[in-house]
């Protein structure tokens, strides 16, 4: 079978062919200007990682690396069937929804003495045990428990075959971000986030790239973030960042797509429109990054170190913070293990 295009090339290919999603040049410029104004703030650095992940264990321990693996392996599909019926997890007095319910549940389990970050345990835990770990405060459970169990136990078995920890597994790729993504995708089936578009195999590798980015963020917090090729990574094609890009005018949906989303139509994984939303988001952020680098070069006469990961680390919380203002822009809904 032909090898799929890599995420950046996939994004460009999709954006050039897309029928329902369009990258808007004026909006790209606007977002680049917005980021230019933030370039000296903490919001545009890898150290913003800990702020975005307040529930992660202290970065000094290898347990924190396993925590990141457990969370990123199950990091998909948190949107509720009904907005009023959200899975919620309360930890230390704060109630979390969405992705943060997973982080809170894993950290809560650690405090309860469940060895949830030990691959020996999570490679063979049963569905009921995982259900207890991920239990919700209310009647609405976290979606896709069976799938989360399947991918977590599979991931644990792979770690056991490669030294028994995420650190020993990922060290096989040296300190090269591209090699890390390739290793994860090659060894762990649930990370193979691929599709076919206009007759071509394409890839997004959202969770594999997040896993590498989180590893980088953790190592940077330890003062060991000298990972090369971070520029190879793209944004993480999910359902939250595209909404922010549409809100900021950098992406535009066709009227028919916008109407389908407003009607609550569920898009299947690999659907032409779903692929276009994800691919055009990747290419849009690449263009924003290039434009930002150009602005910094022209105005400050110096190179810019902001990469697509850092832009994503900024846009995702931005979308969460401004969710009320962008409520009129629907997120697309796809139930799958990739995002």
Taking only the tens place, the pLDDT of each residue in 220-267 is 888 887 899 999 999 999 999 999 999 999 999 999 999 999 999 999
End-to-end CA distance of the chain: 24
pLDDT number for residue 50: 61
- Arithmetic mean of pLDDT, 166-192: 97
**Percent of all residues in the chain with a pLDDT value above 70, rounded to a whole number:** 98
**82-103 residue pLDDT tens:** 878 899 999 999 999 999 999 9
pLDDT in tens, 140-166: 999 999 999 999 999 999 999 999 999
The one-character DSSP state at 45 is: S
Q: Which of 238, 271, 290, 312 is catalytic?
A: 238
Token pair 């992406």 is found at 251
Q: What is the mean pLDDT of the chain?
A: 95
- The answer to whether 118 is a known catalytic residue is no
Domain positions in the chain are: 7-322
pLDDT at 313: 86
280-310 as b/e: b if 16+ CB within 10 A: bbbbbbbbbbebbbebbeeeeeeebebbbbb
**CA dihedral of residues 74, 77, 79, 81 (deg, nearest 10):** -120
Three-class secondary structure of residue 253 per DSSP: strand
Cα 218 to its chain centre, rounded Å, is 15
- Residues 6 or more apart whose CB falls under 8 angstroms from that of 126 comprise 149
Per-residue model confidence (pLDDT) at position 66? 97
């Amino acid at each position: 079978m032909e090898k799929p295009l890599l995420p950046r090339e996939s994004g460009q290919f999709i954006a050039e062919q897309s029928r329902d999603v369009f990258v808007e040049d004026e909006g790209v410029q606007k977002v680049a200007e917005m980021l230019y104004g933030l370039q000296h703030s903490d919001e545009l650095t890898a150290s913003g990682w800990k702020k975005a992940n307040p529930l992660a264990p202290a970065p000094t321990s290898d347990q924190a690396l396993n925590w990141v693996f457990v969370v990123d392996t199950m990091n998909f599909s948190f949107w509720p069937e009904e907005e009023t019926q959200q899975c919620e997890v309360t930890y230390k007095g704060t109630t979390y929804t969405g992705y943060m319910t997973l982080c809170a549940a894993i950290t809560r389990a650690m405090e309860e003495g469940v060895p949830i970050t030990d691959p020996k345990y999570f490679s063979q835990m049963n569905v009921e045990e995982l259900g207890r770990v991920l239990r919700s405060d209310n009647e609405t459970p976290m979606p896709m428990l069976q799938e989360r169990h399947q991918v977590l136990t599979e991931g644990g078995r792979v770690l056991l075959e490669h030294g028994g920890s995420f650190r020993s597994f990922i060290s096989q790729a040296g300190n090269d971000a591209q090699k890390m993504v390739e290793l994860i995708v090659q060894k762990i089936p649930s990370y193979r986030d691929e599709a076919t578009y206009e007759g071509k195999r394409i890839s997004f590798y959202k969770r594999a790239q997040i896993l590498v980015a989180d590893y980088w963020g953790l190592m940077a917090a330890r003062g060991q973030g000298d990972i090369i090729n971070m520029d190879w990574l793209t944004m993480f094609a999910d359902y939250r960042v595209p909404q922010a890009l549409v809100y900021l005018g950098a992406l535009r949906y066709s009227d028919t797509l916008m109407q389908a989303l407003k009607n609550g139509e569920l898009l299947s994984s690999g659907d032409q429109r779903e692929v276009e939303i994800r691919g055009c988001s990747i290419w849009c952020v690449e263009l924003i990054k290039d434009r930002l680098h150009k602005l910094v070069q022209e105005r400050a006469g110096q190179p810019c170190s902001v990469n697509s990961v850092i832009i994503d680390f900024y846009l995702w919380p931005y979308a969460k913070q401004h969710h009320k203002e962008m409520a009129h822009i629907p997120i697309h809904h796809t139930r799958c293990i990739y995002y």
